[in-house]
């Protein structure tokens, strides 16, 4: 193993894995380090599935990033012979009669060339009778979007990075600047551990929250809730999203509202009765056929939230060769490839800084704006 690197990346989640991969593809000697392993159950990049969608309301920057990332994910899966790690389920947005977020999304889609279908309430009911429209008056379908198999996708990135020469070590980095690794640049892509490693800098700027996810068993022999019949779907007016039954894991649903503060090392990952009750109440309204379905799996993960949901990708103010890459804020997984390439370009001095990703724009007061 090389003991003097051009770059050391701490954190083998989706941001760190793609950053290490991108740096190595540019010729850098790279070390990738993670305390628990790629896609582990404590990480924000763990778990079975994540939605990859192009819709971001008025935030064209994230639509373009998702476009770039979807292409790079598909290229990687083709190169590694693992195309099933992207499931082209499509993504359905449920919109209210007057819905500024979805209306802005359509304008962005037109500008950047995203394929979509706009459905009225009648068409929604005909296409997706599994879902009750409720207050949804119309919808948008992204036919080319879908679901990433999260845990395995991260592991595939790390495996491909190692295949092209990235060194990987599973070891805890307990503090900074006490890290005992020699490298020209250090990239800390530690997700919910960033406030622990940099408490004075990030302790009040990144807030880690506890998020509960549920999988419900679908009726035997009933394919109405599987891929091909039901897309991944999002109702941001109620802060809820769902993923169809993929690989027999069950119908996935989660409330996207930020939960209480959470410790990624010591937090108990057992869902609450209150969380289950809230999800069942929503199912009774939106997916009544599954109102009494059994829970087949449940997970507790975490978001690491910046003040408004923008990513944090910037140089440490006190160390010229230290970079911080994080702030996924619950929506970051899909953007791993674009984040990795942006970070690699910035580290190499070849990138154009995006002000929204800067440390200077991060506030202490939480006002979520990016969804």
pLDDT at 177: 63
- How many beta carbons lie within 10 A of that of residue 204, not counting itself? 14
Q: How confident is the model at residue 336 (pLDDT cuts 50, 70, 90)?
A: very high
Burial 250-264 (b: 16+ CB within 10 A, else e): bbbbbbbebbeebeb
Write down the pTM of the prediction. Answer: 0.97
pLDDT at 1: 45
Would you say residue 146 has pLDDT above 90? Answer: yes
pLDDT at 181: 87
- Phi/psi region, residue 329 (left: phi>0; alpha: psi -120 to 50; beta: rest), is left
Residue pLDDT, tens place only, 243-285: 999 999 999 999 999 999 999 999 999 999 999 999 999 999 9
Residue pLDDT, tens place only, 55-98: 999 999 999 999 999 999 999 999 999 999 999 999 999 999 99
Fold of 1-62+149-204+306-371: FAD/NAD(P)-binding domain (3.50.50)
Would you say residue 139 has pLDDT above 90? Answer: yes
Mean pLDDT of 220-225: 95
pLDDT at 2: 54
């Amino acid at each position: 193993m090389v003991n003097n690197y051009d770059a050391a990346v701490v954190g083998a989640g989706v941001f760190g894995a793609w950053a290490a991969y991108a740096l190595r593809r540019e010729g850098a000697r790279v070390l990738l380090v993670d305390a628990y392993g790629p896609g582990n159950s404590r990480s924000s990049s763990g778990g079975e599935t994540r939605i990859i969608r192009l819709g971001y309301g008025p935030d064209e920057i994230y639509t373009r990033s998702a476009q770039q990332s979807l292409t790079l994910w598909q290229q990687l899966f083709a190169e590694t012979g693992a195309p099933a790690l992207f499931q082209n389920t499509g993504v359905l947005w449920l919109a209210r009669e007057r819905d500024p977020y979805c209306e802005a999304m359509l304008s962005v889609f037109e500008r950047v060339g995203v394929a979509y279908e706009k459905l009225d309430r009648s068409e929604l009911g005909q296409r997706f009778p599994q879902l009750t429209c409720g207050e949804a008056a119309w919808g948008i379908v992204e036919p080319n979007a879908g679901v990433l198999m999260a845990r395995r996708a991260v592991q595939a990135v790390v495996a491909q990075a190692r295949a092209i020469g990235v060194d990987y070590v599973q070891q805890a980095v307990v503090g900074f600047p006490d890290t005992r690794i020699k490298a020209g640049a250090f990239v800390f892509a530690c997700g919910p551990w960033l406030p622990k490693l940099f408490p004075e800098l990030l302790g009040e700027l990144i807030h880690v929250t506890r998020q509960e996810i549920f999988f419900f068993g679908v009726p035997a022999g009933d394919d109405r809730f599987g891929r091909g019949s039901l897309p991944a779907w999002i109702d941001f007016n109620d802060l809820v999203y769902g993923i169809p039954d993929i690989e027999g894991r069950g119908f996935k649903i989660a409330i996207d509202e930020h939960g209480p503060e959470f410790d990624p090392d010591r937090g108990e990952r057992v869902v609450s009765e209150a969380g289950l009750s809230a999800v069942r109440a929503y199912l009774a309204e939106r997916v009544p056929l599954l109102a009494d379905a059994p829970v087949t799996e449940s997970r507790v993960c975490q978001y690491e939230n910046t003040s408004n949901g923008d990513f944090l990708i910037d140089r440490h103010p006190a160390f010229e060769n230290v970079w911080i890459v994080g702030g996924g804020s619950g929506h970051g997984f899909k953007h791993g490839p674009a984040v990795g390439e942006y970070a690699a370009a910035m580290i190499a001095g070849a990138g154009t800084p995006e002000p929204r990703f800067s440390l200077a724009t991060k506030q202490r007061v939480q006002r979520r704006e990016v969804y």
